[in-house]
Structure 1
Amino acid sequence: MDSTRDTLWHRLRWPLLSTLLTIALAASRVAINPRFYFTDDTERGSFGQWWALGEYLSQGSLPILDPSAWQGGNYFAEGQWGILSPVTWLIGLSAYLAPDAALHVTAWKIAFLAVFSIGMYLLAMEFGSSRPWAALVAVMAPAAGFTVYMDAASWSTGLFDACLFPLVWWALRRAVEHGKSPWPYVLASFTLITFGYVFGVIVLVVVLVSSLVEHIVRRDRVRILRTLAASAWGALWTIVIYLPAIATSAVTTRSEAPYENTGFLNADVADLFTTASPLTTGSVFSWNGVTDGPLMYIAWILPLFPLFLPIARARTLLPVFVLGTAMLAFVLGPSDLGAIRWPIRMMPYLVIAVLVVFAVAATRAFPERLTRAKAWWSVALIVAMAYITWVAEMWSWKSIFAAAALQLLALAAIAWIALRRRGSASPAFVAGRTPRWQRQTNLVVIASMIVTLGVGGAQLLQWRESPLPGVDAPTDTESLESVLDDAEGDAIVVGDYMKGAGDPESWDERLMANLWYLSDANVSSVYTVLPFTSYATDLCSDLRGVTCEEALEVLWSEDEDTGLPVADLLDVSTILAAKTTFPDEPEAADGWSLTAEGEYTWRFDRDEPLPSAGGVTWTGEGTSVTELSLSDTSVSFTVSSVGSDPRVALSRLPFPGYSVSGAELADPIRDYLLTIDLSGVAEGTEVTVTFLPPPFPILVGAFAASWLVLIAWLIARATARRRARREG
């Protein structure tokens, strides 16, 4: 029994240590800045959508479409809502119940960083690392610069994918290379794909293709079939999750995405020399010039790589080299590849590849293969990296010098331990490692972990928050829910709501982007990754819901085609005008009144509120209909008469996926109002307009086929195991 306990402790102590240190380092950031994990897209995007998802789930439904949210309300196409992700459901339900938004997102993000650590440990072990070195990189990977200051602080789904990927890769190799149960891969890959963040899926495709090519070259029929099964499972779920966005993109600004290099959020070759310098920024440009954060930082220990070269049995690391090369090509690639923007988002995956190689190389070389010549090569690399970093960033010379000094000290200590102890080793040592050598490895690894924690603390003192912009939104969810809670019908915000966000009192008057989901009001100014082109152009609205000054004039102007005010066609009953855009009180249109003047906003309400968006908003001359039923995804009406203008307009965007029974779709009024043509339709006919995520038959087919692939995989594995037992 004691032996079993010792064995279990021997297996668990290193991953447990690395996970606890990862959690401790992640939590220390909150001690310095309680809002560290609650900024930018998390603050204005993720939390609000999670809260809304939780509200839907608490009512026993999933969100598919919300006409009142307009361009932000096509949830299947939005993707990152994670509509089919049980993990995102848990995040959403907990968000809906959470009293504090920052506390909620902090808990989940630290949990995912812990998963990152566990996955890195398992992945490094899978490729041949010893437990101590695997534990070291399991602490370093979640502490890399981009992961900490971009994904963890702001881009939640990017964080989730990166944190889960090592576990997915480990589970894939476990199933394909070793013939173990496919369930860990099936569950992990399903979770990664259903998060709805395409970059993680791209990386998974690289790994799957690499595995398939490798086994085809080796003519390993069994592993080819396993890889094909794993690929088919992932591909079919990718169709289910991403095809609606692809099918919808034609009517959105994504269809106009260019292929070009503007130098925005991509790296130069010289930036690679900063990957071991924790307190420098490199030359990565973003919204305000050079990004003020260590986005290219991987690990301070990288210049010690020459100590462990050449890598023994390097061929076993070929899949890692392939991934690392592909990710490096992305990071250094053009800033815009159509809808795939900002290639530096691939940094976490480059980190994974580099650190796995480091762990395996150190395992196979330390201490036996270390030489003085290799130590001098490491000195040369430290000096070269420091010099090139200094040339690009001369103002950071103190930080660069401090990092180089730290690396030289670490190099001296590791080389001294290896060379001194090796010189006194007995010939029997050659046959295998002695317990004393294991103690020396443990000492080096634990010391490196402590240095990694210290480096993380130094980074936090220099950069207390993400370089991405925050808006200092309240974290108390109850206060967020009370904003505009007395509005009747639908509302829209016009003007630049960003200015004045730092004043806590401004949040009593308005929210921003997806935080509007917490309000009882139906507000269309929410966040979207797919701005509907004609709608966004007409109201000059960006993906965060910010509009220009002319948007108010457009809303109160008369549509030439219908003769109605645009606000009537959109079923808008409340308008919040930002005072930063409208310093003087705008003149209200007929039927509207100024109902509240705040310090930051003008509030206008319709004298007679309209119903929320989604229903019939206009009929052509001589045409009349009677509405029968209305839901988020459908509307039915009976045709009372068809006149000289047989059109019926609905207050809905004409997303791909709409179908009509009893009539036909017509060209959209104003290019963005769903319009029905009743030409030739008899009086009394019932017309039903229905929305399903497009192309729905393919989605259903892919969904069903994914489970058939899994069943076939499980049956094939069970059959092979039975055959092996009989032959054995």
Structure 2
Amino acid sequence: MTDAPSTTTGAPATEMLIQRLRWPLIAVSVTILIALSRLIINPRFYFTDDTERGSFGQWYALGEHLSQGRLPILNPSAWQGGNYFAEGQWGILSPVTWLIGLTAYISPDAALHVTVWKIAFLALFSAGMFLLARDMGASRPWAALAGVLAPAAGFTVYIDAASWSTGLFDACLFPLLWWALRRTVEHGKSPVPYVILSFTLVTIGYVFGVMVLVIILVESLVRHIVHRDGTRIIRTLLASAWGAAWTIVIYLPAIATAPVTERSSDPFANEHFLNADITDLLSAGSPLTTATIKSFWGDTTQGPLVYIAWLLPLIPLFLPIARDAVIRLLPVWIFGAVMLAFILAPSEMGALRWPLRMMPYVAIAVIIVLVVAATRAYPYRVTRARAWAAVAVIAATTYIGWVEEMWSWKSILVTFIAQLVLVAIFYLHATRARTRQVTVAVLLSIAITVGVAGAQMLQFRESPMPTVNAPTSTDELRSVLDEPRGDAIVVGNYYTGQNTPASWDERLMGNLWYLSETPVASVYTVLPFESFADDLCSDLRGLTCEDALDTLWSIDPDTGERVSDLMSISTIIAAKATYPDQPVVPDGWHVADDLDWNWYLQRDEELPSAGGVTWTGEGTAVTVTAQSDTSVTFSVDAVGSDPRVVLSRLPFPGYEVSAGSFADPVRDYLLTVDVTAAAGEEVTVRFLPPPFPVLAGSFVLAWLVLAGWLIVWRRDARRAR
């Protein structure tokens, strides 16, 4: 008898839970299905370009450090790529990135590892879009469609998911973060979800994600100031203070480091590179066309980078949007307008380049407006006049798309016919179906989205971003230079031969060098150290010009030592594409291997890894007593006529010296200490991310803000009860 009540009350509760979860589960499941289907055509789809040469290698290195119980801050052997705090996207303080790194370190296959993580984030994107669309006024079915459409938008799929990992992670987190912000500011719920999500987004280290967070915080603050809503103003200020404190911790080191890097001279200009114009945006509803986006491959990029959703040209069916919905969508209108202005902005705005990377956020705003409009209009407000309006929009955008890219006329024609058919289907269904109109319409839309994704993959089988066809087996990657002979550097165009599997037995590329047992200087960086890059004519990928080998073997006029010795380089890998004839090696070096793609040149006597003392001035003598990646301690035994001590380190901002002073860097990029005032003393040269006192203060402030916020929230919650 006592069991009966729980049975009767349990069944409705279970049914309610199923009803609440049904649509978001459909959205997430379909998103995963679409993401997995891309692997059928291209198993390496998510292992391209910056993921292949950049992200995986740095995740692997981070995981290796974490497995040994330490956080990497500085790596002198990586030279211009070794300032990890300034690099930002290493995610040094991000627990999510730590987990990605630890799994990368133990993963047997690099492509499998990145694919699993990227699809997981796309699933999170879907769930976040569902919650955000619901909060903005969409019904469950239409919110589920938003959760399917947003992760399938063109830039997200073909650039972020395929290559720019941190861009993907931030875009995928953003809808959930925005929902969490509204949950705590607008509805007075616990700030904990927002705190966790905003911390995660900021610490991932992708500055554009922080920019969109700032936009929604400013919008929230201004809106509540206008409404004179004191409680929500305080909540927004607390949310902003938390995010601002962590932004200082994560991004200030890069700003402080920028003056010595090539970022200091980034121009303000419009080269029409990875930005859009108005006519490009008229292709946002066409999944099979490319628009005219200029990028690395010329005036047109072979990918649907401005595509948002196939349903977009059908929006006249759902217009006009009710006034109360327009008001409720005010944050979305403002956010979308700012994002639209950004992608139309100049291609280079100092350190901020390539504004088209904001396209996923434009898609988020547009899709939310679309599903809220559909919620309020479908099926009851769909009329013949609105159907003809949709036909007119489709015709206009098709014509402009054809003018922009006449060579794609077949794809444009197919899209035009398909959208006309869909207008007819939606109109007939809305006006003639008697029951379950919304469910059927949304399920049909989801099915069409799956079909569109399949058609896209048949036409655009891979990202327009380049692949170097690196091996995906981590064992194979680790086998390159697995018997280290001191620090190494690569010179010349060592990317030649990337499509020949055997060439990977001889060299790696970019951050994949982190998988080698040999410390290699030629890693990827977003902050090339200007004087170092100029001297070795190297780029951010580690490629150098032909003169780099001569520079390494040249005698520095200031010290009388070889540049390679001042850098503590013991192995040079010279690409045969640049050096077809065997290089003439200087005394103390020999040709260790003559391989198919590279010359292996080694010093007869191996030098210690970079970071230590490599030269002292005439009459000056020091003894190194301790050395780590971030510090060197030496005793000054004698001070001669030249009191300088040169270390094989780049003089990044953040170095301090306990005695003596810093002198002008030798060759403008070798850290140099003047020990004139340190005779007989012990000198410690130590690096901390700059400006460290400010970073430490911001770190403490963040936790104080959180403590205060939780106290305020609990007080308000008690009052509400």
TM-score w.r.t. length of structure 2: 0.98
Report the CA distance between 1:603 and its aligned residue: 0.5
What residue number does 1:183 align with?
192
**Equivalent position SS for 1:247:** helix
Identity %: 66
Unaligned runs of 5+ residues in structure 1 are: 422-435
Q: Which amino acid aligns with 1:707?
A: W
Task: State which of 130, 133, 145 in structure 1 corresponds to 2:154.
Answer: 145
Query: What is the CA deviation profile of residues 114-150 of structure 1, one whole-angstrom value per residue up to 9, with x for unaligned ones?
Result: 0000000000000000000000111010001100000
Report the CA distance between 1:370 and its aligned residue: 1.6
What residue number does 1:156 align with?
165
Report the CA distance between 1:5 and its aligned residue: 1.1
Report the CA distance between 1:395 and its aligned residue: 1.4
Report the CA distance between 1:67 and its aligned residue: 0.3
Query: What is the CA deviation profile of residues 244-277 of structure 1, one whole-angstrom value per residue up to 9, with x for unaligned ones?
Result: 0000000000001100000110111100111111
**Equivalent position SS for 1:180:** coil
Query: What is the CA deviation profile of residues 687-727 of structure 1, one whole-angstrom value per residue up to 9, with x for unaligned ones?
Result: 000000000000010011011111111101111222233xx
Query: What is the CA deviation profile of residues 340-388 of structure 1, one whole-angstrom value per residue up to 9, with x for unaligned ones?
Result: 0000000000000000000111001111222211111111000001110
Tell me, in whole angstroms, the C-alpha distance in 2 between the residues paired with 1:494 and 1:685. Answer: 40
Task: State which of 14, 37, 48 in structure 2 corresponds to 1:28.
Answer: 37
Report the CA distance between 1:680 and its aligned residue: 2.7
Contact 2:76 2:648 survives alignment (8 Å): yes
What residue number does 2:550 align with?
553
Task: State which of 213, 217, 228 in structure 2 corresponds to 1:219.
Answer: 228
Task: State which of 339, 364, 369 in structure 2 corresponds to 1:327.
Answer: 339
Tell me, in whole angstroms, the C-alpha distance in 1 between the residues paired with 2:33 and 2:713. Answer: 41
**Equivalent position SS for 1:629:** strand
What residue number does 1:54 align with?
63
Query: What is the CA deviation profile of residues 633-672 of structure 1, one whole-angstrom value per residue up to 9, with x for unaligned ones?
Result: 0000000100000000000000000000011111101000
What residue number does 2:302 align with?
292
What residue number does 2:104 align with?
95
Report the CA distance between 1:417 and its aligned residue: 1.8
Report the CA distance between 1:408 and its aligned residue: 1.2
1:571-610, aligned counterparts within 5 Å? 571-610=568-607
Query: What is the CA deviation profile of residues 450-486 of structure 1, one whole-angstrom value per residue up to 9, with x for unaligned ones?
Result: 1100110011011111101100000000011110111
Are 1:723 and 2:714 counterparts? no
What residue number does 1:209 align with?
218
Tell me, in whole angstroms, the C-alpha distance in 1 between the residues paired with 2:358 and 2:345. Answer: 11
Task: State which of 686, 695, 700 in structure 1 corresponds to 2:682.
Answer: 686
What residue number does 2:317 align with?
307
Task: State which of 418, 422, 426 in structure 1 corresponds to 2:430.
Answer: 418
Report the CA distance between 1:413 and its aligned residue: 1.2
1:32-431, aligned counterparts within 5 Å? 32-289=41-298, 290-312=300-322, 313=324, 314-421=326-433
Q: Which amino acid aligns with 1:135?
A: A
Q: Which amino acid aligns with 1:271?
A: D
Tell me, in whole angstroms, the C-alpha distance in 1 between the residues paired with 2:708 and 2:357. Answer: 35
What residue number does 1:425 align with?
none
Report the CA distance between 1:182 and its aligned residue: 0.3
Q: Which amino acid aligns with 1:714?
A: L
**Equivalent position SS for 1:595:** strand
Task: State which of 521, 525, 528 in structure 2 corresponds to 1:528.
Answer: 525
Query: What is the CA deviation profile of residues 569-617 of structure 1, one whole-angstrom value per residue up to 9, with x for unaligned ones?
Result: 0000000000001111111111100010111000000000100000001
Report the CA distance between 1:420 and its aligned residue: 2.7
Tell me, in whole angstroms, the C-alpha distance in 2 between the residues paired with 1:718 and 1:234. Answer: 20
Tell me, in whole angstroms, the C-alpha distance in 2 between the residues paired with 1:693 and 1:119. Answer: 34
Tell me, in whole angstroms, the C-alpha distance in 2 between the residues paired with 1:153 and 1:602. Answer: 33
Query: What is the CA deviation profile of residues 229-254 of structure 1, one whole-angstrom value per residue up to 9, with x for unaligned ones?
Result: 00111111000000000000000000
Tell me, in whole angstroms, the C-alpha distance in 2 between the residues paired with 1:117 and 1:681. Answer: 61
Q: Which amino acid aligns with 1:239?
A: I
Query: What is the CA deviation profile of residues 62-110 of structure 1, one whole-angstrom value per residue up to 9, with x for unaligned ones?
Result: 0000000000000000000000000000000000000000000000000
Tell me, in whole angstroms, the C-alpha distance in 2 between the residues paired with 1:420 and 1:516. Answer: 63
Tell me, in whole angstroms, the C-alpha distance in 2 between the residues paired with 1:109 and 1:653. Answer: 34
Q: Which amino acid aligns with 1:455?
A: V
What residue number does 1:426 align with?
none
Are 1:612 and 2:624 counterparts? no
**Equivalent position SS for 1:632:** coil
Tell me, in whole angstroms, the C-alpha distance in 2 between the residues paired with 1:51 and 1:721. Answer: 44
What residue number does 1:714 align with?
710
TM-score w.r.t. length of structure 1: 0.97
Query: What is the CA deviation profile of residues 153-207 of structure 1, one whole-angstrom value per residue up to 9, with x for unaligned ones?
Result: 0000000000000000000000000000000000011101100001111011010
**Equivalent position SS for 1:446:** helix
The two structures, once aligned, show a CA RMSD in angstroms of 0.7
Tell me, in whole angstroms, the C-alpha distance in 1 between the residues paired with 2:42 and 2:668. Answer: 46
**Equivalent position SS for 1:524:** coil
**Equivalent position SS for 2:686:** strand
Tell me, in whole angstroms, the C-alpha distance in 2 between the residues paired with 1:470 and 1:402. Answer: 30
**Equivalent position SS for 2:664:** strand
Question: 41-50 vs 361-370, which deviates more?
Answer: 361-370
**Equivalent position SS for 2:570:** strand
Unaligned runs of 5+ residues in structure 2 are: 1-9
Tell me, in whole angstroms, the C-alpha distance in 2 between the residues paired with 1:703 and 1:142. Answer: 33
Tell me, in whole angstroms, the C-alpha distance in 2 between the residues paired with 1:171 and 1:470. Answer: 37
Are 1:664 and 2:661 counterparts? yes
Contact 2:659 2:677 survives alignment (8 Å): no
Tell me, in whole angstroms, the C-alpha distance in 1 between the residues paired with 2:596 and 2:186. Answer: 64
**Equivalent position SS for 1:640:** strand
Tell me, in whole angstroms, the C-alpha distance in 1 between the residues paired with 2:526 and 2:719. Answer: 51
Query: What is the CA deviation profile of residues 516-558 of structure 1, one whole-angstrom value per residue up to 9, with x for unaligned ones?
Result: 0000000000000000000000000100100000000000000
What residue number does 1:17 align with?
26
Q: Which amino acid aligns with 1:709?
A: V
Q: Which amino acid aligns with 2:301?
A: T
Tell me, in whole angstroms, the C-alpha distance in 2 between the residues paired with 1:487 and 1:196. Answer: 32
Query: What is the CA deviation profile of residues 397-453 of structure 1, one whole-angstrom value per residue up to 9, with x for unaligned ones?
Result: 1111111111111111111122234xxxxxxxxxxxxxx54x110001001111100
Tell me, in whole angstroms, the C-alpha distance in 1 between the residues paired with 2:618 and 2:595. Answer: 42
Are 1:482 and 2:479 counterparts? yes
**Equivalent position SS for 2:455:** helix
Tell me, in whole angstroms, the C-alpha distance in 1 between the residues paired with 2:81 and 2:200. Answer: 23
- What is the count of residue pairs matched by the alignment? 709
**Equivalent position SS for 2:593:** strand
What residue number does 1:500 align with?
497
